[in-house]
Amino acid sequence: DKARQKTGQLVLYFALAVVCIFGALFILASFIFCRDSVSKTILWDPALAGIVALGTATIVGLGTLFKVISLAGGGKVVAEALGGKLLSHQTKDLPEKRFLNIVEEMALASGTPVPPSYIMEEAGINAFAAGYSPENAVIGVTRGCIEKLNREQLQGVVAHEFSHILNGDMSLNIRLIGVLAGILFIAVIGRILLEVGARSGGRRSRSKEGGGGAALLAIGLALFLVGYIGYFFGSLIKAAVSRQREFLADASAVQFTRNPGGIGGALRQIGGYADGELETKRATEVSHMCFSSVVNSFFSFKTHPPLPERISRIENLPLDDIGPGEAQASGAPLAAGAAGLAGGTIRTSAADVIASTGSVTEAGVEKASHIVASLPAGLAEAAQHPLSASALVYLLILPENKKERRKMVRTGLPGILGQDELGELSRLEKLMPGLDAHARLPLLEMTAPALRTLTKRQAEDFLKRIDEIIKFDTRVDLREFCYATMIDFCLHGSGKLRGRHKKRYRKIKELAPDFSRILSVLSDAGQDDSHARQRAFTAARKKLDGKVKLKYEAGGVEMTELRSSVGRLARSTLGIRKKALMACSHCVLADGIIEVEEAELLRAFAHALGIPVPPFLASTDLAGSDED
């Protein structure tokens, strides 16, 4: 709460920065153009003030606009600007492999797509998360971070960065770069004029000519000094926004891993390696989004709390206050970590599902590690490369436990896929019997980094083949809809469903037909008889405050209509989407039990709505729990 309240200071500081820049530019312009010829006193000139105000607004606006456009690519742009190199799962470097495994485990435990990972060839220990949403996030680390930290410490650092992703800090941080670029733009102009004036002065002095080099130098120096007002306020804004959020991320890292020694040990290591300083020229620009301080300057505010204070808070953090026992008692997500590897049904509650969003549990991280370790080696490796990942997705979407349908679709694949894809699919199909049912959807999510390396044309062809496979037997069932939704999410996140220029919905009443379709489908999926389905539908409708007139559609829903309804819900406000997830959870969990396919369907809806839900723990993992 404190971290979010601090963010409100950003607007105030930004306004003060613009006003101070305007004042400094007006004084400069008045000194040049508007002075009393006798007393040399600077005079107030409304016309000049208007021109300066317009110029200030234009410069700040253009600076912000250019930077925001340049950052449209999300976290990838930031990582590459810092000199980061995209890590491949094919790497033979052991520290790099360890880091990739930790990121994969943390992503599975949180229910977010596995983010691309970048390495910066820097000796210091530092890391960052960048992006506008979990779907386009990246995580970057320095070479020193993966080589100087042990696994527990590196896991603490990665957990810290995932906290920034899940708490929304990452989105704020990247937008902050764009906003601050505007108030720093005048300093950039001043520096350019200084460089031009210096070169011009040098040429003219060699040719023994007088000229405007000195004037350019003077104007450039003046603008550069005025620009330092922007630098001062930019540093102040980053410090105000960042410092409290770093404490929050440290505490979250302990909560996620249940190991204060991991994040605490990493911070102690940083103390011996130049406090995580980066050599790149862009270090100051991204200082607020890094794991620790990247620059030490007399003229800037510290964006991070002192290391001793961070370590002290971590070591004195009462674990009982954030432990799984107390969390479960308050409805938090002990029952929503990574998928268990045992068979059987899953027992959980709608409250647990909601509480699990945007969080990671110790049990979840542990189970995610088990999932990755237990996957057949060939399948885990296949998820890491574009061609084999595509073939793996084709396999996962084939009808399951329905031999006749599967055989029919399988015979049609040669007319849909190329020879290379068919060969890879046949190779991987031999490994599928060793894949646990609970691990199918997490394995699909693990293909996200590989699928996102496809070009736009390749991605379009891939989705077209998926559509042809699904429709080959002239019917689309809920399981296929679920997997198709998750595949779209792995490729594009929830942004594609929301769209940029489509209508936004702010009232539940506008979405009544869509709620009717979705809740009808989920009620049918979660209950066995018509009376139970009707009761589940009624219970879910009450979670929408009972203000919306919904109609249970007993005859079923066309998949095209269902997809359209999901798309409209995805374009609603966050409050409506959270209510939708709660209602959907009550539909599926009216009896307190959820089958694997039901869990996959619920998670597919949640991901499409832009509210990722972690995989569920199997009930066998909760044996003996009093809270069950």
Enumerate the active-site residues. Answer: 161
Phi/psi for 139 (5° steps) reads: -120, 130
The per-residue DSSP string of 290-359 comes to: BSS-----TTS--SS--HHHHHHHHHT--GGGT-HHHHHHTT-STT-SSPPSS-S-EE--HHHHHHHTT-
For residues 569 and 518, the answer to whether their CB atoms sit within 8 Å is yes
Do strands 117-120 and 127-130 pair parallel, antiparallel, or not at all (unpaired)?
unpaired
Other beta carbons within 10 Å of 422: 15
Q: Where are the beta strands (DSSP E) in 3-107?
A: 85-86
CA distance 337 to 335: 6
| SS percent in the chain: helix, strand, coil, step 5 | 65, 5, 30
Angle among Cα 479, 481, 486 to the nearest 5 degrees reads: 95
The alpha carbon of residue 115 and the mean position of all alpha carbons in its chain are separated, in whole angstroms, by 8
The dihedral region occupied by 442, where left means phi > 0, alpha psi between -120 and 50, and beta the remainder, is alpha
For residues 291 and 310, the answer to whether their CB atoms sit within 8 Å is no
For residues 584 and 518, the answer to whether their CB atoms sit within 8 Å is yes
Q: Please, where are the H alpha helices in 167-212?
A: 169-206
Enumerate the β-bridge partners of residue 129.
139
Other beta carbons within 10 Å of 232: 17
CA distance 495 to 396: 24
Task: Write out the two tokens for 113.
Answer: 């797509």
Please write down the HEC assignment for all residues of 336-350: CCCCCCCCCCEECCH
